[in-house]
Amino acid sequence: MDEKKKAGVLKLLKGNRDGLTVIELAGLSKVSRNTMAVVLANLEGAGLIRVREVGKCKLHYLEGGRND
How many whole angstroms separate alpha carbon 14 and alpha carbon 61? Answer: 8
Closest-CA residue to 8 (of 33, 30, 38, 41): 30
**pTM of the model as a whole:** 0.86
Burial of residue 3, with CB atoms counted within 10 A of its CB: 0-12 exposed, 13-18 middle, 19 or more buried: exposed
Fold of domain 3-62: Arc Repressor Mutant, subunit A (1.10.10)
The pLDDT tens digits along the chain (68 residues) read: 589 999 999 999 999 989 999 999 999 999 999 999 999 999 999 999 999 999 999 999 998 754 44
